[in-house]
Structure 1
């Protein structure tokens, strides 16, 4: 605001500029009232947290609402810094721009609290909500194979399809496990100076469907034959991550997708379900498009137990990040207990089958919108209902993301 005054002696004009008050100057009581009004909107709380640091400090003592996963989409191209996110709880679409440079393409993993792992052009671990980045050595970022002429296929280096973290990436002793298309499983410890990657000699010729940490052990579903590999992970004298031992666990009794079976297998995953390594198999009846899920948790080395109810949990399933989360009581938009929410990371343009959500990205970045077609048809699924998420745009990778409790 400007005020103009004229001097009585000289007749000169003097202008006084009054600065508009900054958002950071709002009283804490008012900021807390605003925050409480946003309790039912996770996307609005996320926007709230990005206003300024003083707002976050003002609500430091406020109880946080437990976060539920969002569906994250990678940038469109090399020049694009923007990630898009869909929040199933309130149906909102958001644009996320990391505070310190472009995050990169190739979403290959994540961790609780907003951490994402990208592999293109170099490996990076970035928090989309705080802007923090985990320092990695040059060998870790380039993912060079430590063994000459190791692996198979035409690719010169490891082709990474998924990376899982044993614990928060900022903690001491966090281990990265990379599932590759041509070099089996690779290990590396975060925070170890000069650390590179370690490869298990006995697994480099196997293709894996999925990997996951559970109770400090690493589990991998082998593509063929049907086995679950359990790895004991440790550290050598220099602090580098190494394979200590491995155990083969037979899964053939779980596999009914044979020529004589009435249904076929689409995909297999391994997840941590309440402290148990659990294999999740997506099946479809022959001639019937609706998917259903079969789940089996490993009780001990030779005992499997079928899971037919998720109770107060929901399972978010995807090729690069899967997570079973507790769904609090009350309304949470499109998120319900005892449901599987799955995304295959691929575009889908055919007619909807089952309970499916189709997301269409507007070409106008100024007004980013998702058009959602939701058909409420539930497949027979051992009392566990499912919802599939597909993106009508093949220029994006997609992955579930668990934001921080905001």
Structure 2
């Protein structure tokens, strides 16, 4: 049998559905090693998981190479009855469109958690979720806000803990070194703990231009720091990033992220090392909900400008929900 150089093998495998590439990698030792390097579950870069018109499969889009797109089966769910509540540490929150059970799913390992039924019926469309870590890790906490109620669940709990909050609270949550932080619609920053819920206002000045309408706002944990990102909606090219200076109780505008890259979608923010993920650093990758024209947009912090990545199929096709997901076993 003729010898094929390993770099050529990798090029072949990278053009395949990664799961098929892993199976093909069992052919021989060299191919096994090469397949492991193109297996999406081994990469640190987030992928864009997109609901399509299928009831059983989603599209998984590579951020490293837009040409790499393949289908992944979502087992055990009829997808038209669900939408994505978010994704954290490789786990997807699946929220039923009507009354029903919220589920956590790792689409790569197929591990699944069906959560207790929420009291007082179902959730309104587009409820806000946040999960502190994978449900398989110690200390995982899942939050869901329903109007003036904040429901809290942790693995091992048979029921949700319900807490009454103000209607404007908890629009964005991050966890830094075991401490939770949240921002409300008025730009007020709080720290809090759960079981029971204890809230403390930090008296930090509101971020600049917080009252500007039609903006998307995100809190992101990045290397132990809290970042606040604001993006003008629609086709605007405006974006600002602020770093929390807790000592001076102020938000400080920054134009440099260094090696970090941020991935944003629907109040969810992920920070990764660009060097480890294989993407470009000092950039913000932003995916809008139900964007039929663009897969995502990338904001270059140095140039202060967006680059758009249009869809390669029908640009006017009605796409469904999407979410950034970082594959983890």
State the TM-score bracket (shorter-chain normalisation): 0.7 to 0.9
| Structure 2 CA distance for aligned equivalents of residues 326 and 316 of structure 1 | 11
For the pair shown, the structure with the greater C-alpha radius of gyration is 1
* C-alpha distance 211-402 of structure 1, shift in aligned 2 (>3 A): same
Aligned residue number for residue 126 of structure 1: 105
| Structure 1 CA distance for aligned equivalents of residues 269 and 207 of structure 2 | 24
**Structure 1: segments with no counterpart, 5+ residues:** 1-29, 146-155, 236-241, 259-263, 350-357, 360-371
* C-alpha distance 33-144 of structure 1, shift in aligned 2 (>3 A): farther
**Is 1:221 aligned with 2:165?**
no
Q: Matches of residues 27-38 of structure 1 in structure 2 within 5 Å?
A: 37=10
Aligned residue number for residue 298 of structure 1: 244
What is the RMSD computed on CA atoms of the aligned residues? 4.0
Aligned residue number for residue 177 of structure 1: 143
Q: Matches of residues 379-394 of structure 1 in structure 2 within 5 Å?
A: 383=303, 385-387=305-307, 392-394=316-318
The offset of 1:118, in angstroms, is 0.6
Q: Matches of residues 1-16 of structure 1 in structure 2 within 5 Å?
A: none
| Structure 2 CA distance for aligned equivalents of residues 105 and 281 of structure 1 | 28
How does the TM-score come out when normalised to structure 2?
Answer: 0.77
Residue by residue, what CA displacement relative to the aligned partner does 1:342-365 show, whole Å, maximum 9, x if unpaired?
Answer: 01212355xxxxxxxx24xxxxxx
* C-alpha distance 336-230 of structure 1, shift in aligned 2 (>3 A): same
| Structure 2 CA distance for aligned equivalents of residues 279 and 307 of structure 1 | 10
The offset of 1:206, in angstroms, is 2.0
Contact 2:25 2:33 survives alignment (8 Å): no
How does the TM-score come out when normalised to structure 1?
Answer: 0.64
Q: Matches of residues 144-155 of structure 1 in structure 2 within 5 Å?
A: 144-145=119-120
Contact 1:339 1:384 survives alignment (8 Å): no
Aligned residue number for residue 82 of structure 1: 57
The offset of 1:50, in angstroms, is 6.1
The equivalent position to 1:309 in structure 2, one of 232, 244, 256, is 256
The equivalent position to 1:109 in structure 2, one of 76, 79, 86, is 86
| Structure 1 CA distance for aligned equivalents of residues 8 and 144 of structure 2 | 39
| Structure 2 CA distance for aligned equivalents of residues 178 and 50 of structure 1 | 38
Q: Matches of residues 128-167 of structure 1 in structure 2 within 5 Å?
A: 128-136=107-115, 140=116, 142-145=117-120, 157-159=122-124, 160-167=126-133
The offset of 1:214, in angstroms, is 2.5
Contact 1:342 1:389 survives alignment (8 Å): no
**Structure 2: segments with no counterpart, 5+ residues:** none
| Structure 2 CA distance for aligned equivalents of residues 277 and 44 of structure 1 | 36
Contact 1:346 1:390 survives alignment (8 Å): no
The offset of 1:207, in angstroms, is 5.2
**Is 1:232 aligned with 2:193?**
yes
Aligned residue number for residue 198 of structure 2: 244
* C-alpha distance 50-403 of structure 1, shift in aligned 2 (>3 A): farther
The offset of 1:231, in angstroms, is 1.4
Contact 2:284 2:301 survives alignment (8 Å): no
